[in-house]
Amino acid sequence: MYLRAENLGCQRAGREIFAGLNFAVGGGEALLVTGRNGAGKSSLLRLIAGLVRQSAGRLELEGGETDTPIGEQAHYLGHLDAVKPSLTVAENLRFWIEFLGGGRPAAAALEAVGLAPLADLPAVYLSAGQKRRLSIARLVAVARPLWLLDEPTSALDAASQRRLAELMRTHLAGGGLIVAATHGAIGLERARELKLGPP
Amino acid sequence: MPVIDLANPTRFLALVNRVLPWLIAATVVLLAIGLYRAVNAPDDYQQGATVKIMYLHVPAAWLGMMGWGIMNVAALGTLVWRHPLADVTGKATAPIGAAFTFVCLVTGSLWGRPTWGTYWVWDARLTSELVLLLLYLGVLSLYWTAEDPGRGARAAAILSLVGAVNLPIIKFSVDWWNTLHQGESIFRAGGSTIDPSILWPLLIMALAFTCLFFALLLAAMRNEILRRRVRAMRLMQAQSLAEATS
Amino acid sequence: MSAVTALLERDMRVAIRAGGGALMGALFFLIVVTMVPFAIGPDLRLLARIGPAILWLGALLASLLALDRLFATDYDDGSLDLLMTGNMPLELTVTIKAIAHWLTTGLPLVVVAPVLGLLLNIELRAMGAVALTLLAGTPALTFVGLIGAALSVALRRGGLLLAVLVLPLTVPVLIFGVSAANAAIVDGAPFGPAFTILCALSLFAVVLGPIAAAAALRYGLE
């Protein structure tokens, strides 16, 4: 499976965010997208997810399902956690599992991110880091080949960051792809870098 | 990070600068002829000279609806082909169409007072015309509140397409419901029922209003393009400062 | 449990648990309807005459205020991004959200209306008809309001903009809803035609609303 971009361009609000972007990510590989604030890291991830329109170029997920948009074969982990405060931790996760097409039971995914003891707690009581982990549980519970991560380690403490790195390694070992926007290291040793910014 | 300009605005602006003076001249001439013919047209045997408000009222109504039609075409240009000139057309048409609809309502109201005894009545034709004005105001509010002109244009495009269902309702309202308003006399199957001495001034006024509409539209589009240039230059200014100090 | 029922269940749970849910809409309805006799005066015959109209206006305003929540909360916490990239077509997603909204906001209004009819001195026979027209018409209000909610979330301008966009589009629903309700009070006036058109408007809205709303979300949030 390959995620291939040729001459990719993105325009938003009358400004050209990036143009002429070329990259390829294969199964089991990770791509780190770096650059200044405003360089277009988040826009690139949202473009791959299908939330932002591409203005030029080609983007293809070779080896994936041909008639399905890339966004439906990917997990998008953005800045926000998509957690409803009035639902419990387990209810939140179970909803996303059902909505995104099913997968592992919620309990196992909560176990993987270390939130199992809090399963019946209303999500309003969670800290920022715990909400982030709940969001990550979604990626563990529903199997999708491509992970699009926007600053995944923000709000996570060191232990949680190690746990996330482990989850990412497992995903890559299973043939998954990762494209992550980040300012610093996120614990993947052999990841290639795509630096966005003015030439 | 370069800023995108409008697709070929320079060519369009050159076109406007050439065509606009002729359009203005045509408007003035047609208005002069039309008003002269209107003033000299025969009085109505019942209403007297009051009936001549019709020469303002009816063309204003037609152009209010035509404005919405132009906005719909522009909406397709915005959503389907994403042409920035379509954005500009839609944004420029909305206030002009709204103004003509407003003129229609006001002239109609002034006409109604001596004729029907009331400034306003809630019958089908008047109500749907008022709703048209409210829909125009809805579209305008989308343009006014959007910080990003592209988003505002797309949202306004969708609303204008949804609001298009109101136009046939206005047209046929006088047929479908018993209303106080006069029934269809011009655009009906079987031909118009109006005497030529009244029909001709009406058509000339309609043509004059149409030229006025397009003159205003082209001028408004030119202004909008220039406004967007100013916005682009300000964005570039902020951009270069950010890059210089980062 | 399929994705459709999961979404419906989640939206209803959130609506009921957060911020008073169904109760708030009904409460607002009650307050608005109570205000009117203070403004108009206690003339019972007059209140009975305009009662159906007041109930309809109250229902319209209550629906409108709740529409603000429809997409805004999902947009604010990032759920909207995920809803738009799910397996369900966006048109179906917004339809389910609208149904959940109607069940938690519109339906309570229909249930509470007969009680409020007592305050407005509407006779019993007419009360049933008014409730029936609300039942047939509130879906139209929700599904048309969907369009305004989608447009205003894209522009981040909530409340007032939403009202300006939605109210003109709900005029036909209001006209035929009140017309049908009034027809039930006046003997000899035809209830059927107005009610049928009201149902038709609701069906039309159920089809047009999600299509326009999904387009507004896609084009507005890109």
* DSSP notation for A131-142: HHHHHHHHHHHS
Of A16-25, A67-76, B42-51, the one with minimum mean pLDDT is: B42-51
Q: Is residue B216 part of a domain?
A: yes
Q: Which of A195, A43, A74 is nearest to A138 (CA)?
A: A74
C168 touches chain B (CB under 8 A): yes
Helices of type H across chain A? 41-49, 89-99, 106-113, 128-141, 158-173
Q: How far does A57 lie from chain C, in Å, by closest CA? A: 17
Which of C5, C10, C78 lies nearest to residue A78, judging by beta carbons? C78
Which of C3, C14, C85 lies nearest to residue A76, judging by beta carbons? C85
In chain B, the number of structural domains is 1
Would you state the pLDDT for residue B92?
Answer: 95
pLDDT band at residue B195 using 50, 70 and 90 as cut-offs = confident
Q: Is residue B12 part of a domain?
A: no
Chain C residues in contact with B154 by the CB 8 A cut-off are 219-220
Q: Is the pLDDT of residue B246 over 60?
A: no
Q: Is the pLDDT of residue C212 over 90?
A: yes
Q: Is the pLDDT of residue B7 over 60?
A: no
Which candidate in B1, B4, B81, B154 is best for mutational testing of the A interface (most A CBs within 10 A)?
B1
B81 touches chain A (CB under 8 A): no
Q: How far apart (Å, rounded) are the C-alpha atoms in residues B38 and B51? A: 10
Question: What phi-psi label fits residue A197: left (phi over 0), alpha (psi between -120 and 50 degrees) or beta?
Answer: left
Mean pLDDT rounded to a whole number for chain C: 87
Would you state the pLDDT for residue C90?
Answer: 94
Would you state the pLDDT for residue B3?
Answer: 41
Q: How far apart (Å, rounded) are the C-alpha atoms in residues B136 and B114? A: 29
Indicate the helix (H) or strand (E) that contains A60: strand A56-62
Q: How far apart (Å, rounded) are the C-alpha atoms in residues C23 and C7? A: 21
Which of A46, A87, A96 lies nearest to residue C14, judging by beta carbons? A87
Nearest chain C residue to B150 by CA: give it.
C220
End-to-end CA distance of chain C: 31
Q: What letter would DSSP give residue A123?
A: G
Chain C residues in contact with A85 by the CB 8 A cut-off are 18
Which of C9, C79, C87 lies nearest to residue A100, judging by beta carbons? C87
Would you state the pLDDT for residue B190?
Answer: 57
pLDDT band at residue B2 using 50, 70 and 90 as cut-offs = very low
Q: Is the pLDDT of residue B178 over 60?
A: no
Arithmetic mean of pLDDT, B134-159: 89
pLDDT in tens, A108-146: 999 899 899 988 989 988 999 999 999 999 999 999 999
Q: Report CB contact under 8 Å: B138, C168.
A: yes
Question: E strands, chain B, where?
Answer: none
Q: Is the pLDDT of residue B116 over 60?
A: yes
Q: How far apart (Å, rounded) are the C-alpha atoms in residues C110 and C128? A: 10
Chain C residues in contact with A78 by the CB 8 A cut-off are 78, 81
pTM of the model: 0.84
Q: Is residue B124 part of a domain?
A: yes
Q: Is residue B201 part of a domain?
A: yes
Token output for B150:
């592209």
Arithmetic mean of pLDDT, C196-218: 93
Q: Report CB contact under 8 Å: C86, A100.
A: yes
Q: Report CB contact under 8 Å: B148, A11.
A: no
Q: Report CB contact under 8 Å: C171, B141.
A: no
In Å, how far from its chain's centre is CA C52? 16
Q: Is residue B219 part of a domain?
A: yes
Nearest chain B residue to A197 by CA: give it.
B1
Question: What phi-psi label fits residue C66: left (phi over 0), alpha (psi between -120 and 50 degrees) or beta?
Answer: alpha
Chain C residues in contact with B87 by the CB 8 A cut-off are none
Q: How far does B147 lie from chain A, in Å, by closest CA? A: 9
Of A1-5, B77-81, C16-20, C47-51, the one with minimum mean pLDDT is: C16-20
Amino acid at A34: T
B138 touches chain C (CB under 8 A): yes
Q: Neighbours of A (≥3 Cβ pairs closer than 8 A)?
A: B, C
In this predicted model, which residue has the larger pLDDT, C49 or C207?
C207
Q: How far does B241 lie from chain A, in Å, by closest CA? A: 14
Which of B138, B155, B161 lies nearest to residue C220, judging by beta carbons? B155
Q: Tally the C-alpha atoms within 13 A of residue B202's C-alpha that lie toward its C-beta.
A: 19
Q: Is residue B239 part of a domain?
A: no
φ/ψ (deg, to 5) at A3 = -100, 115
Map out the domains of chain A as residue ranges.
2-196
Q: Neighbours of C (≥3 Cβ pairs closer than 8 A)?
A: A, B
Q: Which of A184, B229, A48, B147 is nearest to A18 (CA)?
A: A48
Q: Report CB contact under 8 Å: A14, B151.
A: no
Q: Which of C139, C10, C136, C179 is nearest to A88 (CA)?
A: C10
Query: What domain range includes position B82?
Result: 18-181+194-232
Nearest chain C residue to A52 by CA: give it.
C222
Of B210-214, B230-234, C21-25, C67-71, the one with minimum mean pLDDT is: C21-25
Which candidate in C151, C166, C167, C208 is best for mutational testing of the B interface (most B CBs within 10 A)?
C151
Q: Are C144 and C207 in contact (CB under 8 A)?
A: no
- By CB neighbour count within 10 A (0-12 exposed, 13-18 middle, 19+ buried), where does C77 fall? middle
In Å, how far from its chain's centre is CA C30? 15
Would you state the pLDDT for residue C188?
Answer: 58
pLDDT band at residue B187 using 50, 70 and 90 as cut-offs = low
Would you state the pLDDT for residue B24?
Answer: 93
Of A182-186, B4-8, C22-26, C157-161, the one with minimum mean pLDDT is: B4-8
Q: Report CB contact under 8 Å: C161, B131.
A: no
- ipTM for this prediction: 0.88
Q: Is the pLDDT of residue B52 over 50?
A: yes
Q: Report CB contact under 8 Å: C216, B127.
A: no
Q: How far does C197 lie from chain A, in Å, by closest CA? A: 36
Mean pLDDT rounded to a whole number for chain B: 82
Q: Is residue B241 part of a domain?
A: no
* DSSP notation for B169-190: HHHHHHHHS--SS----SSSTT
Q: Is the pLDDT of residue C9 over 60?
A: yes
Q: Is the pLDDT of residue B6 over 50?
A: no
Nearest chain A residue to C80 by CA: give it.
A82
Arithmetic mean of pLDDT, C163-180: 87
Q: What letter would DSSP give residue B81?
A: I
Chain B residues in contact with C147 by the CB 8 A cut-off are 158-159, 162
Amino acid at C222: E
Would you state the pLDDT for residue B188?
Answer: 58
Chain C residues in contact with B135 by the CB 8 A cut-off are 168-169
B246 touches chain A (CB under 8 A): yes
pLDDT in tens, C122-156: 877 778 888 899 999 999 999 999 999 999 887 77
Q: Is residue B240 part of a domain?
A: no
pLDDT in tens, A32-53: 998 888 778 999 999 999 998 8
CATH architecture of A2-196: 3-Layer(aba) Sandwich (3.40)
Q: Report CB contact under 8 Å: A14, B150.
A: yes
Q: How far does C77 lie from chain A, in Å, by closest CA? A: 5
Q: How far apart (Å, rounded) are the C-alpha atoms in residues C49 and C42? A: 12
Q: How far apart (Å, rounded) are the C-alpha atoms in residues A105 and A97? A: 8
Would you state the pLDDT for residue A144?
Answer: 92
